[in-house]
Amino acid sequence: MADGQHLAAQAVTANGAHAIAFAPSLVVQPRMLAVQRVARGAWRMRVPRSRARGRALELSPRAGRLRMAAVNGGSGTEKVRVAILGASGYTGAELVRLLATHPSAKITHMTAERNAGQPFGTVFPQFAFGDFANALPALVKIEEITSWDDVDVVFCCLPHATTQEIIASLPLDKVRVVDLSADFRLADTSVYAEWYGGEHKAPELQREAVYGLTEFAREQVRSARLVANPGCYPTAAQLPLVPLLKAGLIEPQDIIIDAKSGTTGAGRAAKVGSLFCEVSDGIHAYGVASHRHAPEIEQGLSAAAGAPVVVNFTPHLMPMNRGILEAIYVKLAPGVSADQLRDCLAEHFNAEPFVHVAPKGSPMPHTRHVRGSNHVLIGVSPDRLPGRAIVISAIDNVVKGASGQALQNMNVMFGLPETAGLELAPVFP
C-alpha cells in the first residue's frame, strides 16, 4: 500500500463495544500500519508493538467488523466471546480447560441437555474453584439461549447427525462456527449418507464448510463461517501422508493404517464397550473395514494424490484414557528411501508450532510424548521389506484430535496467535 492511499472501509464490533470506524477519508501510512491481504476480501493490519502493544487488526467484510486481538502476548481490547454447545462431554470439557489459559477469549454460554441448570463445576469438579471457574456461566439447554449478541464463535461438541439442524438455525451472519462432530467433514453428502446412515439435513451449508486441518487449510479457515473440525484418526493419518503423496514419494495404493486409541474417543456417554472391565487388560480391533473415519481419510489423501485413494484402516481400542498412535505402512515410489520421507516431512513442517518430525536415530513417537498437548510427533523408519517404509504418528485424541485443533482454528479465524491457549507442555507421567 503506497503512502497516502485511502482505505475505504467502515467496521464496528458486533456488539458496538470498542467500535472503531474507518471512513473513506482515512489515510493509512505504511510507516504506522502494516497491511497484509490474508484472504479474498480480508486484510490483516499489524500495528508496531511500540504503538499498540503488538495488537493485530483484522478487517473482514464477511464478519462486518474490525477486531483487535492480542499478538505476541499483547493484551487485546476485546476478547473473542465463546459459546460451547455440548459442554458436558469430553471435548467440551477439554475446550474449557484450554480456554482457561487463553488470553483473548471469554466463555459466555455453555449448554448441556441432561445437566442443564447446574454449575459447570458440579459436573466437572476440577472446574469448581479459582477465578476462571467462578466466572464460568451455568449450563443451560440450547433453546434457552435467546440471544447470540454476546457470541462471536460457537463450538459445537454435539453428537454426530444432531449438529446440522442446530448450526442451520444459528445466526451465521453474526457468529462463526467450529463443528467438532462429523456432520460437515465429508464434502460429498451422498458419502455422508452412506457412512452415517441418513441424509444430510443442511447440504447448502456443507457446500461452504471448510475442512479445518489447520496446517493444510489456514487461508480457507481464516475467512470461513463454518469450519468442520477433523476427526482424531484422520488428523494423525493425514498430517504425515498428505505431504508425502503431494511430493510423489509414496505410492497411493497399498497404504495400511494400523491405529490405536484411548477410550475418550468413544465419548462420555455410558456404553458397555467403554466399561472398565470391558477395556482394561486387553486390546481389540473395532469398526474393521467399516469405521466412519475411513472415507474422511480417503477424501484428504485422494485430494493430495490427485486420484482416488482407498486405504486399509483398522482402529483398535486401548486401555488408556487419551492418545492415538498410528503405525502407517507405505510403499515407496521407485528410487525413494525412508530418509527422503523424513526429510520431506521435516522440511514441510519446519515452521509449524505443533507438528514435529523425529530426527533419524531418535526414539519412535509414544502417546505419552504428546499427552495433554496439541503437539503431533511423527517418526519414519525403513521397513524390513524392500521398497517400503513405516511412519509412526502420535497425537492426543482429545486435544489435537478434537478440542485443541478446534481452538487452533478459532485462533486463525480471529487473527489471534495460533498457539494462544495451546502452549501447554505434554503431561508426563
Residues forming the active site: 232
Q: Residue 27 gets which letter from DSSP?
A: B
Angle at 249 between CA 247 and CA 253, to 5 degrees: 110
Q: How far apart are CA 129 and CA 119, in angstroms?
A: 11
The dihedral built from the CA positions of residue 291, 293, 297 and 299, taken in this order, carries a sign that is positive
Q: Which of 47, 4, 406, 426 is nearest to 227 (CA)?
A: 406
Which residue intervals of 107-257 are DSSP H helices? 120-123, 131-134, 163-168, 189-196, 203-206, 214-222, 232-246
Question: Identity (one letter) of the amino acid at 380?
Answer: V
Reading the block at residue 211, the C-alpha cell is 475442512
Strands 80-85 and 105-111, by their bridges, are parallel
Q: How far is CA 20 from CA 66, 77, 222, 253, 302, in A?
A: 7, 11, 21, 54, 45
Phi, psi of 57 (to 5 degrees): -110, 130
The answer to whether residues 178 and 105 touch, using CB atoms and an 8 Å cutoff, is: no
Phi, psi of 369 (to 5 degrees): -70, -20
